[in-house]
Amino acid sequence: MSNSMVVEALEDLVSANRILAHEQVIDGFGHISIRHPERPDRFFLSRSRSPELVTLDDLMEFDLDCNPIDQRGRAMYGERPIHGGIFKVRPDVNAVIHHHAHPILPFTFSKEKLRPVFHMGGVMGREIPDWDIRTKFGDTDLLVVTMDQGIDLAHALGKSRMTLMRRHGCVVAANTLRQAVFIAVYSTDNAKLQLAGRGELEFLSDGEIDETGKLLEMPIAMDRAWEYWSRRCGVLAA
Ligand code: MN
């Protein structure tokens, strides 16, 4: 891990933890991972700890079956198969976020679909599939703790950027960490706005969703948002 590209990626992963905690997408729970920039068969995820407190030192390396490369006695998040499963099934994905943001949760226990209601909500994409652990695994504590469950979740995600986990939370998967954070923050905003909408709601058209999604391919947009959130949570000095 002496390579500077890897160190830079890990520093961004620390920032992402702080940003998503500050923006109230994650709280004491929830986690964020990145694929190893030089070894696609590995990923990085913090040891088990509150995301707001994560430092470089807390980041651990895992193989795609979620075995630690060098555990050193550290406690690990039980739900890491969410990350390993998606990295295995989706070679295009380099960052995964799992969270239980409160504005998203109502859409996990009702029939109402989360759909883009405003400009930035378009980055969620056209399809936000649902995954219900109960369908294949029956009554559980709802945690995704086996590779079978993680792979099943990844298959439900399909080619989408997000999937809702029934009665539990949400997963975001993207090509870059900045895109994943962008989608996580604005999908949470979209959920708040959709719940606040009065009367018959109007949604973005499929064409508008496709056009809005192009934002994710614009570094100028990704970097500006990242800078804003980094400053707000204090990882970037004024
Ligand atoms: Mn969870």
3-state secondary structure of 173: strand
pLDDT in tens, 181-199: 999 999 999 999 999 999 9
State the distance from the centre of ligand 1 to the C-alpha of 237, rounded, in angstroms.
Answer: 32
State the distance from the centre of ligand 1 to the C-alpha of 68, rounded, in angstroms.
Answer: 20
State the distance from the centre of ligand 1 to the C-alpha of 166, rounded, in angstroms.
Answer: 11
Count up the domains in the chain and report the number.
Answer: 1
3-state secondary structure of 180: helix
119 has pLDDT over 60: yes
> Which residue is catalytic, options 11, 23, 38, 79?
79
In a domain, 117, yes or no: yes
State the distance from the centre of ligand 1 to the C-alpha of 228, rounded, in angstroms.
Answer: 27
Question: Catalytic: 8?
Answer: no
pLDDT in tens, 68-107: 999 999 999 999 999 999 999 999 999 999 999 999 999 9
Measure the CA–CA gap between 96 and 183, rounded to whole angstroms.
11
Residues of the domain holding 21:
3-233
Pairing relation of β-strands 162-165 and 95-99?
unpaired
State the distance from the centre of ligand 1 to the C-alpha of 229, rounded, in angstroms.
Answer: 23
Quick one: pLDDT band at residue 200, thresholds 50, 70, 90?
very high
Q: Quick one: pLDDT at residue 2?
A: 54
In a domain, 138, yes or no: yes
Measure the CA–CA gap between 18 and 2, rounded to whole angstroms.
23
In a domain, 238, yes or no: no
In a domain, 131, yes or no: yes
For the chain, the average pLDDT equals 97
In a domain, 65, yes or no: yes
In a domain, 92, yes or no: yes
54 has pLDDT over 60: yes
pLDDT in tens, 219-235: 999 999 999 999 999 99
* Overall average pLDDT of the 140-158 stretch: 98
Measure the CA–CA gap between 45 and 82, rounded to whole angstroms.
11
